[in-house]
Structure 1
Amino acid sequence: MNDDALEASRPATFGRRKIVPRVLIIDGKPHVRRFLCDCLEELRLVAAGCAGADELERTLDALLPDLVLIGARSGGIQARDMLVLLAARRFSGRILLFGAPSAPLTRALHELGKTFGLTMLPVLPTPFNGSDLRNRIAAFVPDEAPPHPPVDIVEALAVGHLDLWYQPKIDAGTLRLSGAEALIHLRHPAWGIVPPAGFVPADGRAHDGALCEFVLSRICEDWRYFSAEHCQVEIAVNLQMPVAHHLASLDSLRRLMPDHPAFAGIIVELNAGEIVHDLADAKAIARRLRFQNIGVSIANLGEEWPLLLQQSDFPFVEIKCDPQFVCGCANERLKRYVCRQILELADG
């Protein structure tokens, strides 16, 4: 391809603003691409995967990456073709190979990239963990989180930017999986992963209906998947009080819930600060939701615990201590006292 044709084939980049660095992962194995995407997104980078040379040009045009990760194990000819294409496009970013550093293939690919004039980072040895990856690409990791983007929740839902991530809940007595907690995140094409604080207003009222429908339908859909493909788990999700209030009045609630004999319900977590601010309303929400097989949990309970004492009506199914009181409670008497009082409150 001559220089004129190459310049003409390049996508226009004027006006395409980059908020955070972008990374492209090239590997033939979907689980490898998914793992790397998750790790990179946790580092506040925008990441995308590509399986082969036939997808590379289109993905490069769409993503405009600053860093390209190439799996040396994905096949010598394919990996070589990737480097040839990147060189033909005069890729100016960095390239990181991951594989066995001493393998002849890895060495050959690294030398080929340097021969083409590409900027090759030192090989990332496999196997590696998240810390190894972070250390190797430290220059690309933002020191601070970018400012929160202006987000319209209805628009984000329409284009599929909202997603639920799950973290395991472990039983402290058995150390076995006892459930999963759903966390709402926004995967923005320019800003990367945005936590709820970045797009959910403090009052939650601007979009409580749309967000409520999305969360409930996705949780029920994911429960069916977990039940069929893995195991049956109890799912919890943390919501703001206005969103939970809308959930309690949702007409489609019964229709969305799984009709399965193994379905044990859903837990909605409300922050302790919101609950004690309007305890009567929180109780009303909990009483109404439990008839729909949804329990309400008190999350991050700490110094507010005295306000919940001597309640004759306590319709909450679970209490979660504020982590700042749990961490170090073995050595600090005040923290230990607070945790003991919260435990007695839960037992009572």
Structure 2
Amino acid sequence: MSTLSDIEVSSALVMDDQADVCRLVVRQLEQIGLSATGICTKPELVAALERAHPDLLLLDLSLGESDAIEIFRVLSEQRYEGRAVLMSGHGAPILEHARRIGERSGIAIGGILRKPFRRQDLQALLVDMPSPVRSSDAPAPAEDDPMLLQTAIDRNWLEFWYQPKINLKENRVVGAESLARIRHPERGVLSPAAFLPSAGVDALHALTLQAVESAFLAERRLSAVLPQPRLSVNLAGHTLHYPDLLAQLKEIRDIVEGGSQMILEVTESDVIEDVIAAQEFAMRAVLHGFAISIDDFGSGYSTFERLRRIPFSELKLERSLVDGCSRDRQLRSICQAAVQLGHDFEAEVVGEGVEDIADLETLRELGFDLVQGFHFARPLPLEEFLKYTASRQDSQG
């Protein structure tokens, strides 16, 4: 059982425009065993941050002449690296909107407390809160190098890691999503955020071909553990315009003797950008034995009419709509609607970014078919993914 020693917070600041509330929360923190100070105004916060940055900021949403949204900007300007816990008597939807605005501002939101709350509620939140990422631990910001991906391909720095996809009804691994990584000789392992945004179309096309080849080869090894493994590969939207793309994918499949149906993931935003190209590619891909997944659904605001044009068999709900669905009635409603939509299209519905048991159980209750996320496993190098899958299979008999 988690105890006070699990709380990795040494200093805390409480900000509420009501002085009596400030004193109450400070007292609760002190009873837990933490050093805390209370403030009521924006100038007091600025002065406090000039002296030192606390590990934790408990922040009320309504602050008289100010508000939490304005404070997020202050924290961002001050490069605040601790965690912010949001406090309010407002309902869950308002708190969740505030959480998302804070995260979009670059603030690490450590949790939410509905007023009034008990000391036990506060302590439980602190015990379960992940440690804040310090600047010394954080990866160095990516350089805006449009040639990084092409260089990685030319120098054989490219790797493909796999994040397990879990069948909710059977609670077992059924496949994985392939995710690219660069193992840089100086900067270490780089995620797609470091090299995809600035990459050129030719490099993205080469990445797609390598990803498909690696996935087919991985599938052959995975077949020893899973019956008919289902691996998926992301396609960059611009690569859909390559006239020979499908022929190249088929050629790779023939050369490596790929057996199962490869899933090609096309983001919703790419569908919106050029629905005709997406429709033609998807239709041909399905006719030639591939499957199509609409990835990041909910991020592009597509119309249902556009979806009707794409022959997809999988609908992946964007992680920002999944994270927190157990405690946010509006997110739950969106998830529920997505399940009905996907099933009406005779497609399986996947929840991305599942990180806690409460969200997982909500998705199970709503009828999601598959899930993936840190709750089960982060993306893993192939050897580790194979071990993870074999271990789960053995544990389930």
SS at match of 1:178: strand
Over the residues paired in the alignment, what is the CA RMSD in angstroms? 3.2
CA deviations 1:314-337 (Å, max 9, x no partner) are 411110111221222233222122
2:230 equivalent in structure 1: 234
Structure 2: gaps of 5 or more residues: 1-130, 345-397
Q: Equivalents in 1 of 2:140, 2:298: separation in Å? A: 28
Q: C-alpha displacement at 1:232, in angstroms?
A: 3.9
Which of 334, 343, 347 is the aligned partner of 1:347?
343
- How many residue pairs match? The answer is 213
The answer to whether 1:187 aligns with 2:183 is: yes
Alignment of 1:311-326 (within 5 A): 312-326=308-322
Q: C-alpha displacement at 1:228, in angstroms?
A: 4.1
Q: Equivalents in 2 of 1:334, 1:309: separation in Å? A: 23
Which structure has more RCO (C-alpha within 8 Å, separation ≥ 6)? 2
1:117 equivalent in structure 2: none
Conserved? CA contact 1:240–1:270, under 8 Å: yes
Q: Equivalents in 2 of 1:317, 1:293: separation in Å? A: 12
2:137 equivalent in structure 1: 142
Q: C-alpha displacement at 1:259, in angstroms?
A: 7.9
2:169 equivalent in structure 1: 173
Which of 207, 211, 233 is the aligned partner of 1:215?
211
CA deviations 1:76-135 (Å, max 9, x no partner) are xxxxxxxxxxxxxxxxxxxxxxxxxxxxxxxxxxxxxxxxxxxxxxxxxxxxxxxxxxx9
1:164 equivalent in structure 2: 160
2:283 equivalent in structure 1: 287
CA deviations 1:191-247 (Å, max 9, x no partner) are 111112222245751423322321222111111222246654110122211134438
1:246 equivalent in structure 2: 242
Q: Considering only CA atoms, is the larger Rg found in Structure 1 or Structure 2?
A: 1
- Give the fraction of aligned pairs with identical amino acids, expressed as a percent: 26
SS at match of 2:201: coil
1:336 equivalent in structure 2: 332
Q: C-alpha displacement at 1:145, in angstroms?
A: 3.2
Alignment of 1:1-348 (within 5 A): 142-148=137-143, 150=145, 151-202=147-198, 204-228=200-224, 232-246=228-242, 249-257=245-253, 263-302=259-298, 304=300, 307-309=303-305, 312-348=308-344
Conserved? CA contact 1:296–1:317, under 8 Å: yes
Amino acid at match of 1:293: G
Cα 1:178–1:142 shift into 2, 3 Å? same
Conserved? CA contact 1:182–1:236, under 8 Å: yes
SS at match of 1:252: helix
Structure 1: gaps of 5 or more residues: 1-134
CA deviations 1:23-62 (Å, max 9, x no partner) are xxxxxxxxxxxxxxxxxxxxxxxxxxxxxxxxxxxxxxxx
Cα 1:297–1:184 shift into 2, 3 Å? same
Cα 1:219–1:310 shift into 2, 3 Å? closer
Conserved? CA contact 2:268–2:302, under 8 Å: no
Q: Equivalents in 1 of 2:302, 2:225: separation in Å? A: 43
TM-score (norm 2): 0.47
Cα 1:203–1:343 shift into 2, 3 Å? farther
TM-score (norm 1): 0.53
Amino acid at match of 1:282: A
